[in-house]
Structure 1
Amino acid sequence: MTRSPILAAALLAALPAAAQDLPDLGGREVVVAVENAYPPLQFLDAEGAAVGWEYDAVAEMAERLNFEPVWEVMSWDATIPAVAEGQVDMAMNGITIREDRAEVVDFSAPYMTSEMVMLVRGDEERFADAAGFAADEDLLMAAQPGTTPFYVGVYEVLDGDEANPRIQMFETFGAGVQALRAGDVDLVLTDSTAGEGYVSASDGALKIVGEKLGTEEFGFIFPQDSDLVGAVDAAIAAMRADGTLVALNTKWFLDYKMGE
């Protein structure tokens, strides 16, 4: 994967001692689950290549820790069970660190902080915030079951009823966004990372409205007691210390927005 000049410069500035202190995983394969539905974290570009912030981050960790990532595409609802059961070694999917999930999988240290936003069509004028959406019973929301946006939609936007028919379920986040663009639903709640990525790529077809609805931290997930957790945490700390995480943010949240 070709690195941006900014990222390359940051890596050249890394302290040699940091790399020497990291664990060596001996070149082993690490199977990583991914959905490819959260631009700019991970998605398919116009040529169909899998790219994004998380791909770059894991590729960088693989170099530093000496492992070979093997990507396995799977749906969101299958991801946490697959990791919990040890079917894959690791997953990346903009996964919010939550106590209930930590009961079945282990999380890495946070690698990114994001906030929940309201994604709507670019010409939406019927509501401009959560209260406006909730007040109009004809409006529908897309969500994936079991996700943070689903629970925020239920308990912070609507009435606390998880079976509320105004929440239309979709297997993937991308399918929900497609339904939004087609007019089948009127709102998608998502972390600001994915929301800004979709808006940037939509050529005006999508926008974000209202106040942010909360803050969440993302982490990679692993089977419980995996020896990868400590190694990945060490790599995240080193990448934060030497500026690599900042360089990735610049590449995917600034350059990507400008279409570069």
Structure 2
Amino acid sequence: MKFASTLAGLALGLMSTAAFAQALPDLGGREITIVTENAYPPLQFLDKDGQAIGWEYDAIAEISKRLNFKVKYENISWDAMIPAVSEGQFDMGMTGITITDERKEKIDFSEPYMRSESIMMVRGDETRFTDAASFAANADLLIGAQPGTTPFYTAVYSVLDGNEQNPRIKLMETFGATVEALKAGDVDTVLTDMTAGKGYVDASNGGLKLVGEPLGTEDFGFIFPKGSDLAAPMNAAIEAMKADGTFDALNKKWFLDYKMN
């Protein structure tokens, strides 16, 4: 009886998943141009062969199958991404973009597909500070950040004095550039979300580490021009993939199993 009950439950679950999948919109094979930065492992980045890979690429590949659309990828710097999507230059953007009310004034967001926590990344041999308070207390220490990002505002308001012009914050165009500046000793910490930070630490062979307690949580979403007809289908696919375990499998692949070279 227990085995029969298990089979019945499995069959019901499969039927429910199938029904959910059948209910997803069909975009008729249309081409969607998605812009990204390719500098945010393991969400999206270039591997040692220059191939663009990552959690978000896998997620979009699956979503495109479920919603029946084709993808064309373009690359752009972070500070240009939101303005470009807002102006309709691209259909969609992705690069671990934190959902905020301020950004919602310019663009539409999908439902969150991931939640992460901000944390400090430092060189592996760093001993001068161990958390935000000890970092802030040493006026000689510098933070690398991208202007307009959640880590930038976290640096300003959660680590330093609330002054957005604080000279201890060194602004750079890409997240990858901030990490390279950290490795080179040009800055002393980079604030990142836990997911990207773990990716860089795992690839550093001890050259980088994470310190201190998380400085806040953030939800990531895909972005669209205001009023885009893509938001609702994307949301439906996101909910389906949460429900059927697809996102859990992607998390395991990219955050537990994948080893960056």
TM-score w.r.t. the length of structure 2 is 0.93
Q: Give the superposed CA RMSD.
A: 1.4
User: What residue number does 1:21 align with?
Assistant: 23
The 5 A counterparts of 1:36-185 are: 36-185=38-187
Paired with 1:142 and 1:14, the residues of 2 have a C-alpha distance of 47
- Picking from 241, 250, 253, the partner of 2:243 is 241
Paired with 1:167 and 1:183, the residues of 2 have a C-alpha distance of 14
User: What residue number does 1:201 align with?
Assistant: 203
Paired with 1:214 and 1:205, the residues of 2 have a C-alpha distance of 25
Q: Which runs of 5+ in 2 are unaligned?
A: 1-13
Count residues with an aligned counterpart: 248
Q: Which runs of 5+ in 1 are unaligned?
A: 1-11
Shift of 1:15: 2.3
Paired with 1:55 and 1:196, the residues of 2 have a C-alpha distance of 18
C-alpha spacing 1:159/1:13, structure 2 compared with 1 (3 Å)? farther
Helix, strand or coil at the partner of 2:88: coil
Give the letter for the 2:95 counterpart. Answer: N
Asked if the contact 1:28/1:68 (under 8 Å) is kept, the reply is yes
Paired with 1:84 and 1:57, the residues of 2 have a C-alpha distance of 23
TM-superposition CA deviations, 1:210-255 (whole Å, max 9, x none): 0000000000000011110000000000101110000000000000
C-alpha spacing 1:13/1:141, structure 2 compared with 1 (3 Å)? farther
Asked if the contact 1:13/1:242 (under 8 Å) is kept, the reply is no
User: What residue number does 1:192 align with?
Assistant: 194
Shift of 1:13: 10
User: What residue number does 2:8 align with?
Assistant: none
C-alpha spacing 1:212/1:74, structure 2 compared with 1 (3 Å)? same
Helix, strand or coil at the partner of 1:227: coil
Shift of 1:16: 1.8
Asked if the contact 1:23/1:231 (under 8 Å) is kept, the reply is yes
Helix, strand or coil at the partner of 1:100: helix
Helix, strand or coil at the partner of 2:101: coil
User: What residue number does 1:5 align with?
Assistant: none
Helix, strand or coil at the partner of 2:224: strand
Paired with 1:105 and 1:14, the residues of 2 have a C-alpha distance of 33
Give the letter for the 1:202 counterpart. Answer: S
Shift of 1:193: 1.0
> Where does structure 1 differ by over 4 angstroms across 4 or more consecutive aligned residues?
none
Paired with 1:218 and 1:117, the residues of 2 have a C-alpha distance of 16
Helix, strand or coil at the partner of 1:117: strand
